Amino acid sequence: MALPMIREILAQVFKIPATNPFPARFLPPSVTEFLKKVGAGEATINPPVATPPRFRGKIVYDRDGCIGCNLCIRVCPAHAIEFIPETKRVRIYVTQCIFCSQCNDICPKGVLTMSPEFLLGTEDRFAESQIVE
Q: Is 99 in the site for other proteins (CB under 8 A)?
A: yes
Among positive and negative, which fits the CA dihedral 10, 11, 16, 22?
negative
User: Can you point out the beta strands (E) in 1-129?
Assistant: 59-61, 81-84, 89-93, 112-114
* Options 15, 41, 47, 121; binder of other proteins; rule CB under 8 A: 15
* Options 8, 40, 47, 121; binder of other proteins; rule CB under 8 A: 8
User: Can you point out the beta strands (E) in the chain?
Assistant: 59-61, 81-84, 89-93, 112-114, 131-132
Q: Which residues bind other proteins (CB under 8 A)?
A: 1-6, 8-10, 12-13, 15, 17-19, 21, 26, 50, 52-56, 60-65, 71, 74-80, 82, 84, 86-87, 89, 91, 93, 96, 98-102, 104-107, 110-115, 123, 125-126, 131-133
